[in-house]
């Protein structure tokens, strides 16, 4: 798989990736910062966007296929909006093939300490939301091309403006501090040479200033890259527009389409836990432009009739929740759960066993007991070695 990260396929020549060690005279790989890269020395066989997308996908380590088939298409793209942890897929829920994602940090022992809630969401709901979003964007692009380009560029600029302003201020402060450190290093060197500063004190200050200077130089490099990337934001918007034009329809989302369009998905907790009818915010961030919502999917103000209907629904939910709290306080809820959970568990176990048997028959799942057993190999000692 190392072939996927070779920059030579971009048309570049990379030298000095290895160096011979003075002890064993063998070649050893050196850090990437020590490489010498000559760009555009020969014809490229892959474009930069595809190469960057592959590196991003490989950076998101996917879980191995489990007993329920290959890795889910959304694996590696979904994150918890509260703690930032990755979300893991669960293939079977309530004895049904209904993939759901939950926050990985919630289940860390002790449960609920790293993240307070599961942030559970159905995978099918997320895929439907992405499909509707891409359809609306494509339709908007066809109907009003100029307005679509303008809104994409404005959305990207608005999202980056606040962040890049902070980075520019921090860059100026870091550059100023780096200049001050250079003057301080020269000053203590002169004081030490003239005998005004003891050697021990000079060495301590020099090490302290050098450490701070190295950290600042690394930070300045990253900030400069961010500023340069912001200046090229218009090109990124054009890449997203070209990506929309690449596909005719979005009826079926493939793994390739998801990885080309989606950068990450942030899932918030449901507005009301334990309710069958509730809302849950999902933020979809696209490659090149970040979070973009077409006008067709923008929130619409509710009419007075809709507001009244929503108020009645919320009041009913409150009444049901208060009834639940009363049943929980007087012990009736616990009695009902004890009677129901036994039947529910038996029903779920039977459904899971049926699913497991079906997958074993198809050959996509094998229990450990069915794997071929191998006897442990014993070490053999030759006669010459024994002597």
**What is the sign of the dihedral through the CA atoms of 223, 226, 227 and 228?**
positive
Say if residues 124 and 101 touch (Cβ distance below 8 Å). Answer: no
CA torsion, ordered 213, 216, 217, 222, to nearest 10 deg: 170
Sheet order of strands, 78-80 included? 78-80, 262-267, 282-286
The C-alpha atoms of residue 265 and residue 129 are separated, in whole angstroms, by: 11
CB atoms closer than 10 angstroms to residue 239:
12
First to last CA, the chain: 46
Asked whether residue 227 is domain-assigned, the answer is yes
Tell me the sheet residues that pair with 78: 265
Q: Check residue 383 and give its pLDDT.
A: 47
The C-alpha atoms of residue 229 and residue 45 are separated, in whole angstroms, by: 24
- The conformation of residue 265, written as its DSSP 8-state character, comes to E
Q: Check residue 384 and give its pLDDT.
A: 46
The C-alpha atoms of residue 229 and residue 236 are separated, in whole angstroms, by: 9
The C-alpha atoms of residue 311 and residue 326 are separated, in whole angstroms, by: 23
Q: Check residue 94 and give its pLDDT.
A: 65
Asked whether residue 291 is domain-assigned, the answer is no
Closest CA to 121 of 165, 163, 79: 79
H/E run at residue 19: strand 18-20
Asked whether residue 155 is domain-assigned, the answer is yes
Our count of domains for the chain comes to 1
Please state, in angstroms and as integers, the Cα–Cα distance from residue 115 to each residue in 112, 118, 268, 270, 273, following that order.
Answer: 5, 8, 12, 14, 15
H/E run at residue 161: helix 145-193
The C-alpha atoms of residue 262 and residue 292 are separated, in whole angstroms, by: 11
Asked whether residue 233 is domain-assigned, the answer is yes
Closest CA to 250 of 153, 71, 145, 127: 127
Helix axes 145-193, 233-246, angle to 10 degrees: 140
Asked whether residue 230 is domain-assigned, the answer is yes
Residue 140 has which token pair?
């908007």
Say if residues 159 and 296 touch (Cβ distance below 8 Å). Answer: no
- Please state the pTM of the whole predicted model: 0.69
Say if residues 85 and 345 touch (Cβ distance below 8 Å). Answer: no
Q: Check residue 26 and give its pLDDT.
A: 85
Q: Check residue 180 and give its pLDDT.
A: 92
Q: Check residue 386 and give its pLDDT.
A: 43
Asked whether residue 160 is domain-assigned, the answer is yes
Q: Check residue 211 and give its pLDDT.
A: 92
The C-alpha atoms of residue 298 and residue 276 are separated, in whole angstroms, by: 24
Q: What residues make up the domain containing 216?
A: 150-244
Q: Where are the alpha helices (DSSP H) in 194-284?
A: 199-231, 233-246, 255-261
Q: Check residue 176 and give its pLDDT.
A: 93
Asked whether residue 232 is domain-assigned, the answer is yes
Beta-carbon contacts of 92 under 8 Å, excluding residues fewer than 6 positions away, are 68, 98, 352, 355
Please state, in angstroms and as integers, the Cα–Cα distance from residue 165 to each residue in 161, 174, 230, 282, 294, following that order.
Answer: 6, 14, 10, 27, 26
Asked whether residue 124 is domain-assigned, the answer is no
Mean pLDDT per block of 10 residues along the chain (387 residues) reads 86 90 83 88 89 81 57 88 89 75 87 86 93 91 87 78 80 92 91 90 91 91 81 68 86 88 92 78 89 85 90 89 88 87 84 81 70 63 47
């Amino acid at each position: 798989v190392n072939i996927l990260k070779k920059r030579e396929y971009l048309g570049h020549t990379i030298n000095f990736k290895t160096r011979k060690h003075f002890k064993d005279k063998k070649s050893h790989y050196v850090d990437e910062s020590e490489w010498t890269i000559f760009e555009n020395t020969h014809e490229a066989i892959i474009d930069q966007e595809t190469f960057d997308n592959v590196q991003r996908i490989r950076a998101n380590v996917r879980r191995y296929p489990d007993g329920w088939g290959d890795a889910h298409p959304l694996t590696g793209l979904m994150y918890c909006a509260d703690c930032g942890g990755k979300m893991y897929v669960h293939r079977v829920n309530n004895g049904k093939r209904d993939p759901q994602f939950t926050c990985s940090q919630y289940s860390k022992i002790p449960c609920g300490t790293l993240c307070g809630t599961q942030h559970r969401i159905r995978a099918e709901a997320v895929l439907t939301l992405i499909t509707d979003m891409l359809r609306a964007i494509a339709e908007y692009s066809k109907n009003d091309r100029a307005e679509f380009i303008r809104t994409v560029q404005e959305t990207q600029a608005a999202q980056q403006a606040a962040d890049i302003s902070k980075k520019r201020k921090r860059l100026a402060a870091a550059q100023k501090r780096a200049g001050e450190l250079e003057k301080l290093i020269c000053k203590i060197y002169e004081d030490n040479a003239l005998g005004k500063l003891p050697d021990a004190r000079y060495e301590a200050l020099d090490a302290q200033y050098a450490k701070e200077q190295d950290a600042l130089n690394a930070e300045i490099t990253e900030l400069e890259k961010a500023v340069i990337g912001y200046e090229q934001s218009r090109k990124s918007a054009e890449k997203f527009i070209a990506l929309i034009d690449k596909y005719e329809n979005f009826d079926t989302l493939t793994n390739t389409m998801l990885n080309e369009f989606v950068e990450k998905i942030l899932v918030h907790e449901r507005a009301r836990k334990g309710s069958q009818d509730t809302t849950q915010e999902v933020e979809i961030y696209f490659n090149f432009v970040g979070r973009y919502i077409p006008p067709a999917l923008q929130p619409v103000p509710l009419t007075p009739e809709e507001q009244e209907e929503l108020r009645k629904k919320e009041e009913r939910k409150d009444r049901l929740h208060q009834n639940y709290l009363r049943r929980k306080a007087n012990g009736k809820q616990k009695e009902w759960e004890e009677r129901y959970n036994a039947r529910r568990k038996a029903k779920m176990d039977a459904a899971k066993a049926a699913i497991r048997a079906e997958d074993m028959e198809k050959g996509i799942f094998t229990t450990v007991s069915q794997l071929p057993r191998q006897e442990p190999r014993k070490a053999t000692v030759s006669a010459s070695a024994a002597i």
